[in-house]
Chain A
């Protein structure tokens, strides 16, 4: 309970959780209900990954462009654990252990964390710029690894593999109560993982680990002088962050139904990594809530652009495929500009804007 300092914040958080739980049932009645559900699910999944990156970059100060690689590891390990043994896709059969979805999420996270610990020593030797370039190499290594025919049983090589839908069916039950269909089940799975992940991250950052991370970020030599084991802090940061990315990746693999390796590596993977970096920058570096806000923003932006174009409010933007300046190009340019503008004018991102607005109204009508 110490996580929530005031009664008011407890009240708001309780309300938020009620809204999030009720959302799919509300969305059933909406026009285009699946669209809203899919969007919400994507936001939840992205926010899990963004929280992980924020622990690494925002709290421990280690720049990573390799987040997509860990997402990919999570996606394929998660799918391997949770699909039934006889899964096939266009003639190729995959390894599958048929375990419950949450084992896939935990296992995906764990294996990604192992990979993170392998990269960790580089982080101990290198700092700042050098580290960002080594993690950039990880993205290219991801492309090499995920599309290799040697791992076809796990990753499906070039064409990707199948993943099994999430199910909440317990022994002795025909179907899960209240939940209709695979996409609602995935939404609840993502919601559970996100809530657990947020609470864990918030808790971890309040304590010894979080302080060690922040001391390492602010000045690693000074931190070491003060008795922080910097090597341990950097390794832990990489491990924990990769675990979050792996868990998010496992859910993303389920979401995509056919996760393809080249989406997590190479040029496409780099864009995914940049999107996650954009989430924590736009949301607010070094804040847990900011990661969630950033995920909402980054996932919703293309949809917003699509909506505005559909309404005819952006006459200079073509619909997807209707010309070179289409919706996706426009949203990518916007991403780039938003990263630049936020860093220039509001380094704390959306969270900073929220703080400003709150402080303004707190003292209203007085300025201070």
Chain B
């Protein structure tokens, strides 16, 4: 079973007039794009600091999603898998105060905790494995992260078992905010809000904090940064921590916003691959590009699933929206090989 990541969520769109429909779908596209933007930002920060494309990002997302699930529902790995756990009765008695918290608080705090944990996992991965690969060919490093992807996501699948789970979330799939004829799901509104907050915090950190300055300096010229007394190892660790944290946040938002609260392994794991075009489109070393690219991919994917899919369906090619981001990416790359905002690499022999 696959879940259509880029398809519109509403079936009753037909009743809307064309402008309303465009607004409605653009909103859904922005919500999807917000999640893509968070994922792409994770790729970009890791790439900018360490020049590694992290194929294990999807696996980290998966890990974050399941940690949030366990923290909110109290279902510790293995065992139960159904909605029955929503009540939170699985927690030991000394955690009663946690269960008494409103679901919204629990969900939000769980995301923060998951972000910290996955951030630490990111640091661990960098320390133990990728640190040793500094200076090795790009090819080898990409393969290492692919190997990690397999190992981490299969481990997650083993620990939490592959059955579908229901994420208890503060936004039931049906709860919407209606403005005129346009329905906006609360899960989507929150996805966009969280994205804006996270992105603002990210840019503030990047621009004004000492660590942000260190990351930018290292990205610009690693040797010069080292000579100025910036510890490259700290920069790498911070970048991986931020990457991991962003993955966890994106995963936790993705489930209620796009999968109607059902945690299924494959869509979560491969949504990160769908966000690759976003990162590439904007330019793999440009945080602003990642956000722009994410929003572009999200909106165009949803719009294409509404207006291009029927055309291709008439030709008997269903599910066009699933390849659309990649086609868009290839099209743009052929004209701008470093993406929309990427730095053009000057290469010397």
Interface residues of A (CB under 8 A from B): 57, 61, 63, 121-122, 125-126, 128-130, 132-134, 136-137, 140-141, 143-145, 147-150, 152, 219, 221-222, 225, 266-267, 270, 274, 277-278, 281, 285, 324-325, 329, 332-333, 335-340, 343-344, 347
| Residues in chain B within 8 A of chain A (CB atoms) | 2, 53, 78, 129, 132-133, 136, 138-140, 142-144, 146-152, 154-155, 157-158, 160-162, 266, 269-270, 273, 276-277, 280, 284, 315-320, 322-323, 326-327, 329-330, 333-334, 337, 347-349
Task: Please give, as numbers and ranges, the residues of chain B lying within 8 Å of A63 by CB-CB distance.
Answer: 138-139, 142
Question: B326 and A140: CB pair below 8 A?
Answer: yes
A140:B154 contact, CB within 8 angstroms: no
Residue of B nearest to A158 (CB): B318
Measured CB to CB, the closest approach of chain B to A190, in angstroms, equals 27
Q: CB < 8 Å: which of B133, B277, B337 contacts A343?
A: B133
- Chain A: CB-nearest residue to B320: A144
**Could you show 25 A-B contacts with beta carbons less than 8 Å apart?**
A57-B139, A63-B142, A122-B334, A125-B333, A125-B334, A128-B138, A128-B139, A129-B138, A134-B329, A134-B333, A141-B326, A144-B319, A219-B349, A221-B349, A267-B269, A277-B143, A285-B139, A324-B78, A329-B154, A329-B158, A335-B147, A336-B148, A337-B151, A343-B136, A347-B140
Q: Which A residues lie within 8 Å of B147 (CB)?
A: 278, 335-340, 343
Interfacial chain B residues near A219, Cβ < 8 Å: 349
Q: Which residues of A lie under 8 Å from residue B158 when comparing CB positions?
A: 324-325, 329, 333
With known contacts A274-B146, A343-B143, A333–B151 Cβ distance under 8 A: yes
Q: What is the CB-to-nearest-CB distance from B49 to chain A, in angstroms, rounded to a whole number? A: 15
Chain B contact residues: helix, strand, loop or mixed? helix
| Cβ–Cβ contact A324 & B157, under 8 A | yes
Q: Which of A61, A134, A152 has the most CB of B within 10 A?
A: A134
Q: How far is the CA of A278 from the CA of B147 in the complex (A)?
A: 8
Chain B residues within 8 Å of A266, by CB? 2
Q: Given A126-B333, A336-B147, are A148 and B270 also a contact pair (CB < 8 Å)?
A: no
Q: How many Å from the CB of B348 to the closest CB on chain A?
A: 8
Q: Which residues of A sit under 8 angstroms from B144, Cβ to Cβ?
A: 339-340, 343-344
Residue of A nearest to B145 (CB): A340
The residue of chain B having its C-beta at the shortest distance from the C-beta of A132 within the complex is B142
Q: By the criterion CB–CB under 8 Å, are A332 and B322 in contact?
A: no
Chain A nearest CB, measured from B186 CB (Å): 30
Report the bound CA distance from A307 to B154 in whole Å: 21
* B322 close to A133 (CB less than 8 A): no
The one of B78, B138, B323, B349 in contact with A140, judged by C-beta atoms closer than 8 angstroms, is B323
List residues of chain B with CB within 8 A of the CB of A335.
147, 150
Give the chain A neighbours of B269 by CB distance below 8 A. 267
Contact of B150 among A132, A137, A152, A333 (CB under 8 A): A333
User: Nearest residue in A to B335 (C-beta to C-beta)?
Assistant: A125
> Is there contact, CB below 8 Å, between B277 and A137?
yes
